[in-house]
Amino acid sequence: MLKLTGLHISYGKISAVKGIDLEVAPGEIVTLIGSNGAGKTSILKSISGIIPAVSGSILFEGREIKNMKAYEVTALGIIHVPEGRGIFPNLTAMENLEMGGYLKKNAFVRDKIDEVFQLFPRLKERRKQRAGTFSGGEQQMLAIGRGLVADPRMMLLDEPSLGLAPIIVQNIFNIIRQLNEEKKITILLVEQNANLALRVSRRGYILETGSMVKDGLSSSLMNDDGVRKAYLGG
């Protein structure tokens, strides 16, 4: 479904991502693991068109999307839920959800928002409040919910566990699994929490300072000595 080949990303003269390959098949949850600054977020941003790739290719269903604008990529059904959640703090929860459906028809957006409210009842309670007043967990729910309103075929989730209490993280990860199984959304998940990410995903990639060092089935990565030492706390 998504295929990155030889992807290079740089900020000025500093290269952040040095020619990586990555593939996601339809229906999969694939995780991209790496420590802070490894280049995970840069990869997601270049897929969604927020930052340009220097070289390499990004194919989505066989189509080159490398030079597309971010709003054109969104129209293809690739929905990026950014790191730090990226909600619009000055808009209400409801308005945030409506923005998720910016490219869709109003009636469709209303139905989708109802679905999101079933998934996250908390958002329905707080729908008229400014999103800036939300707790971290609520903001993450809102960011994922907003992505769902766009009716994604593929979701790029950037660190959904960041800064959240363990019980909320568990809840978010259950939802991610549910979206994949019930709504058939293909997911590329970027995480620092390797333990959780490998448990929820089918396959994983390990990124270190801009290069892929390992990839494989998540179950085998979890038993890999190197991965265990570096990312799973021994």
Partner 1 sequence: MDGVIILEILQQLANGLALGSAYALIALGYTMVYGIIQLINFAHGEFFMIGAYAGVLAIKAGLPLYAAFPAAITAGALISAGVEKIAYKPLRKKNSGRLAALITAIGISIFLQNVIFLIPGADLIGLGTKNPMGIEKYVFGSVEISGTKVYIFLISIILMIIFIYIVHFTKSGKAMRAVSADRDTAMLMGIDPDRIISFTFALGGALAGAAGLLFALDQNQVSNFMGLMPGLKAFIAAVIGGIGSIPRAMAGGLILGLMETLAVVLGFSQFKDAFAFIFLIIILILKPAGIFAMARKEKV
Radius of gyration, CA atoms only, the chain: 17
Point out which span in 67-75, 111-119, 159-167, 199-207 binds partner 1 (CB under 8 A): 67-75
Q: Would you say 68 or 197 has its CB closer to partner 1?
A: 68
Place of tokens 């707790």: 135
Q: Does 82 bind partner 1 (CB under 8 A)?
A: yes
Enter the tokens of residue 232. Answer: 């799973």
Nearer to partner 1, 69 or 183 (CB): 69
Q: Which of residues 112-151 bind partner 1 (CB under 8 A)?
A: 146, 150
Q: Which of 126, 132, 134, 155 is nearest to 31 (CA)?
A: 155
**Nearer to partner 1 among residue 126 and residue 203 (C-beta):** 126
Alpha carbons 74 and 156: distance in angstroms, whole number = 11
**Residue 93 C-beta: closest distance to partner 1, Å:** 13
Closest CA to 73 of 51, 54, 91, 94: 51
Give the interface size with partner 1 as a residue count (CB under 8 A). Answer: 25
Closer residue to partner 1 (CB): 102 or 223: 102
Interface pick for partner 1 out of 69, 183, 184, 229 (rule CB under 8 A): 69
Residue 46 to residue 11: CA distance in whole angstroms: 12
CB of 89 to partner 1, least distance (A): 6
Interaction of residue 43 with partner 1, rule CB under 8 A: no
Q: What CA–CA distance (Å, rounded) separates 132 from 130?
A: 5
To partner 1, the closest distance from the beta carbon of 82 in angstroms equals 6
Identify any residues that bridge with 205 across adjacent strands, giving them in sequence order.
32, 215
CA atoms within 13 A on the CB side of 13: 0
Per CB under 8 A, residues contacting partner 1 are 48-50, 69-71, 74-75, 79-80, 82, 86-91, 95, 98-100, 102-103, 146, 150
